[in-house]
């Protein structure tokens, strides 16, 4: 039986490109497409998909990480392989925590994409080299890694939000936001919001 794929991306050109590349591979067939994360969750639930190629960002509604969590929460789910242009910790960690089997970037060579599909279908992990390197760095140097909540707080600070507004967005007290920032400053060895944002951006911990 061929590996049956669901392509989930809000750009028709991207879906067409993925289809063109993957349908030339022996033992792989594109069974369906989805233009929204909600469509992907619904289609993946029909039981005839082996691997979902999931984008992270859709125009509106659910994002790729939430869709991944919804898909993998069901009994006997298909594997989810993230295929995106974003490789910061703010993108990769929520997707992997949501249950993604693999994480590739859209500029991956066709042979790497096909190999990742086969690897994911077999239940093994497939990671883009840059993502794998970053995860290894987090393991080797845990003092420089940020928790998911710290990443969320600093990402909103990077957008220019005050501590009060960050707290309102994340349903935290202003004191809790300050505590998260204090830990961020200590981990990144900085002493200001601006320096923290600059350092985290340079390390690929948040996106700008």
Give tens-digit pLDDT for 154-179.
999 999 999 999 999 999 999 999 99
This prediction has a pTM of 0.70
Smallest CA-to-CA distance from 90 within 24, 41, 158, 23 is with 158
pLDDT band at 52 (very low <50, low <70, confident <90, very high): very high
The domains located in the chain, with CATH, are 3-138 (3.40.50.2300), 142-202 (1.10.10.10)
**How far are the Cα atoms of 24, 167, 177, 193 from residue 182, in angstroms, in the given order?**
52, 15, 9, 10
Task: Round to whole Å and give the CA distance between 88 and 102.
Answer: 15
Note the pLDDT tens digit of each residue in 93-137: 788 888 999 999 988 899 999 999 999 999 999 988 878 776 766
Residue 112 pLDDT: 92
Helix axes 129-140, 89-97, angle to 10 degrees: 90
**Alpha-carbon 79 to chain mean position:** 14
Enter the tokens of residue 94. 């929520």
pLDDT band at 19 (very low <50, low <70, confident <90, very high): very high
């Amino acid at each position: 039986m061929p590996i049956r794929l669901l392509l989930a991306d809000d750009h028709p050109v991207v879906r067409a490109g993925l289809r063109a590349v993957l349908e030339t591979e022996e033992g792989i067939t594109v069974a369906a497409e989805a233009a929204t994360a909600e469509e992907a969750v619904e289609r993946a639930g029909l039981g005839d998909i082996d691997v979902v190629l999931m984008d992270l960002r859709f125009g509106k509604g659910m994002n790729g990480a939430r869709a991944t969590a919804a898909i993998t929460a069901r009994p006997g789910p298909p594997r989810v392989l993230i295929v995106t242009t974003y490789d910061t910790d703010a993108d990769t960690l929520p997707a992997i925590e949501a249950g993604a089997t693999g994480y590739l970037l859209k500029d991956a060579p066709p042979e790497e994409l096909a190999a990742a599909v086969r690897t994911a279908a077999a239940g093994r992990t497939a990671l883009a080299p840059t993502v794998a390197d970053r995860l290894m760095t987090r393991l080797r140097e845990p003092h420089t890694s940020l928790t998911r909540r710290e990443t969320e707080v600093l990402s909103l600070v990077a957008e220019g939000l005050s501590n009060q507004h960050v707290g309102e967005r994340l349903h935290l007290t202003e004191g809790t936001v300050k505590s998260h920032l204090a830990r961020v400053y200590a981990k990144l060895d900085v002493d200001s919001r601006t320096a923290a944002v600059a350092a985290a951006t340079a390390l690929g911990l948040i996106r700008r």
